[in-house]
Structure 1
Amino acid sequence: MSRDLVEAARAARLKAHAPYSKFLVGAAMRDEKGRIFGGCNIENASYPQGWCAEPSAISALIMGGGTKVTEVAVIGAGEGLVTPCGGCRQKIREFAAPDVKIHICGEDGTIRRTFTLEELLPVSFGPDHLK
């Protein structure tokens, strides 16, 4: 388990802009060079124009020169597991292989469960289909 990845997601969560829902989410992604990029959810008064934490982290990774997601951590509050939504799962799929691990964490940084992308998005459509 990657404490550095989880801590980056935890730090990103604290920067979330969630004035409407008050539901802060942080994500962090490791690229193919081992670098970590964080992202947070950013709400907008004009729903659904906000961003989830996961695409925010993907954007940072791409802007940082990364091309692949090799590991993910997502942190949210509450008793339930805060997993990436369906759209975010597909966005992760664009840059990650089906066996990439996605750590779902509580707000204290404890990893509650780890899934592979394939478990969260089975029989997915991805870039390999267009080659």
Structure 2
Amino acid sequence: MSHDLFEAARAAMEKAHAPYSRFPVGAAIRTTDGRIYAGANMEVASYPEGWCAETTALGHYLMDGGGEIAEVAVVAEKMARITPCGGCRQRLAEFGRPETRLHLCDDAGIVETTTLGALLPHGFSGETLK
């Protein structure tokens, strides 16, 4: 079932705008009710400003009402098993749970599955700010 999430991430990666880094990345999020939101990294002339693939996917997810995140897939054209950057780890943790599955991919599919909690064991929680 997770292969379709990888396919959505890979299709998004094909739409990346990465003229400065030349490092396209795609990400896809699946909610527990089965909706999939994908995104690609987008660079701008004031590089390294821009936004990551996970951030783009989260934007689509939030604009459609959000929900509980079941799993995430990330793929990069030039790096197998890419993980989200530090900022995106926190962004995903904000909307996911420690047990949310995170699929690390190469160009053929998922090569490793971990969790958001394993990737960011001591992330900030919005609860601590209340």
TM over 0.5: yes
Alignment match, 1:116? 115
Alignment match, 2:6? 6
Counterpart Cα distance in 1 of 2:42 and 2:15: 9
Alignment match, 2:128? 129
Alignment match, 1:29? 29
**1:87 partner SS:** helix
Instruction: Identify the range of structure 1 (7-16 vs 41-50) with the bigger mean alpha-carbon deviation.
Output: 41-50
Aligned 8 A contact 1:32 1:66 in 2: no
Percent of pairs with identical residues: 53
Question: What whole-Å deviation, never above 9, does each CA across 1:65-104 have from its counterpart, x for those lacking one?
Answer: 2233221000013354210000000000110000001000
Alignment match, 2:54? 54
Change (3 A) 1:40 1:79: closer
Aligned 8 A contact 2:26 2:41 in 1: yes
TM-score by length of 2: 0.92
Gaps of 5+ in 1: none
Gaps of 5+ in 2: none
Misfit runs of 4+, over 6 Å:
none
Cα displacement (A) at 1:28: 0.1
Change (3 A) 1:72 1:61: same
Counterpart Cα distance in 2 of 1:17 and 1:61: 20
- Residue pairs, 1:26-105, within 5 angstroms: 26-105=26-105
Instruction: Identify the range of structure 1 (117-126 vs 88-97) with the bigger mean alpha-carbon deviation.
Output: 117-126
Counterpart Cα distance in 2 of 1:32 and 1:7: 18
Question: What whole-Å deviation, never above 9, does each CA across 1:20-42 have from its counterpart, x for those lacking one?
Answer: 11111000001232100000000
Measured on the aligned residues, the alpha-carbon RMSD in Å equals 1.5
Aligned 8 A contact 1:27 1:75 in 2: yes
